[in-house]
Structure 1
Amino acid sequence: MPDEPSRVSGARAAWRLAVGTFTVFPVRPVDVDRAVAGRAMSLAPFVGVLLGLAAAVVLEAAGAVSGSPLLGAVLAVGALAWLTRALHLDGLADLADGLGSGKPADGALDVMKRSDIGPFGVVTLVIVLLVQVAVLSRDDTAAWVALVAAVATGRLAVTWACREGVPAARPTGLGALVAGTVRRGAAITVTLATAAVVVVLALVAAAGPSLLDYCWPFDLRSTFGYTSYSGVAPYSELTYGYSVDAGPRPAGLLHHLSDDPYLITAAGLLLAMAAGLGAAALLRRRAVRRLGGVTGDVLGALVETATTVTLLAAVVLV
């Protein structure tokens, strides 16, 4: 017999709903109402931080073991898709097909409900995944914290999409459950808290050591006998017994304003998060006007849009 919904406190129920909605990890069923749903959507960015850290470990570890930043980026993006059951990518593809169909709201919603993926969805997925991999494959010690910030921002976009005044496109489904459940004050508070977490991680990244130096019991670089791409001399690594020097990485825009790595990393990531949220807000506005409100697919598309734009902005700024 399926598990009966458990009666737990509102905070625990909200956390279980947030984890169950945004990750692949199973949770015990809980009684859910719109109050619990609102709390869960407010907790979404913190689930994003945990997902981002898990993907960042894959990024750093795979890059250190293989000596290839590109392979690390591919595996990190793949791990993130697995940890989220690829639901957000599916939502992005469905929304692209729905908006690209040119049909009225009802027809576009019907297109989004189909199990197959059309040409608009395929092209959008390919572009988004390629952009994410390309950005994360850069030879930079700040790549891991940019990934964490981007993943958290993607879920923060959902928090804002569920604020009061944003309608649901359908009377049923995830969108109907969570639309309009988050108060503006709660969204602002969660945004500030998420930004504070990112700033702390940015300061850690700016200190120089790789993420693995904080969470790994041994040095993968010395173990496998080469200098990692995230070591002291970026863009220079020892591969198969000879040195490959690709030269210095082009400085981000903020490097022209300051030489302080702590200020550059923290300010750059905060600006990148703002850019991601702005892009998600524009897409949300388009979806509401076109479809009449938000759906689960729209929320998934907002996650991937905010994540990708945040990564793009980070590589330009930091």
Structure 2
Amino acid sequence: MDFFKAQFTKIPQITPANLSTSTVLITGANAGLGLEAAREILKSKPQRLILAVRNLERGQAAVKELSSAKHASTQIDVRQLDQASFASIKAFADGLSGQKVDIAILNAGSWSFKWGQTTDGYESDLQVNVLGPALLSLLLLPNLRQAAASRAPDAPKPHLSFVSSGLHEMAKFPERSLPTGQMLAALNEQAKYNGQDRYQTSKVLGLLWVKELAKKTSSDEIIINAPNPGFCKTNLMHGSTGIMKYLTKGFGMALGRAPADGAKCILDGAMVKGAESHGRYLSEAAVKDEVAFARGAEGAEIQQKTWNEIIALFKKDGVLPKGAEHL
């Protein structure tokens, strides 16, 4: 019932902010919610908009599509970023070294429905939805802190927003009960893979990372949150097959939120909401509680476990940014 109520909640318009000296970064920005978020944020005339995309040709096509909405003062850059590759994430972040980023929207994600592995050796949805954004967030902290140090008085405080999903509440996530050091390993075993639960579980893990990263980062400096755009008419579920393919298509047509409204939910978190949203899940442009097991004593335990395992994984793979272990 809550889902249906949420889907038909009227999403408020976003009042343009003063982004005339701000740099905005959006991952997965060439299509769907990322492209709509870029279109919406151009109304605030940012000084620079960085579109982080896996395919540069599609990124350039997005620039052309956005050209009519772009103010003459806004510079749009297209940068390659593949969240299925730690090397690509590192190269992307290296390309921004010494440059400030005022707003970072980590939107790129996948829903595979079937087992697949990245070149780094991790289940694809686990890496693209959890490990990739986690690594990128650590690498972007210096850029966001640089923005905080030079922020104009009337500009929004730097924001780091991870696009979440209401479907996280449906996650079974039995791996959460495993001892520290075994949870991610279990999620990376093909024999234990559950395609019907993987996307939802990845969104819970993403939320737990957001909460712990926010705990270790002052809201006086950077706002870190997780806005949910709702179930939107996008191509996220293109990997579904059989009856599921037709069910999701019909479900989307009947109940799917317009991508423009989903983008407003994202921008509300990334530009409008303040310290009250730090470390929080947002839905329908309001601070909401996440799934019960991710809160309270149980939530704190899983949250710490998630952080420790991801940091250990980055350390093992030699990609942990300097100083991140001691945040």
Pairwise same-fold verdict (TM > 0.5) = no
* Structure ID, larger Rg: 1
TM (normalized to structure 1)? 0.31
- Structure with the bigger percentage of helix: 1
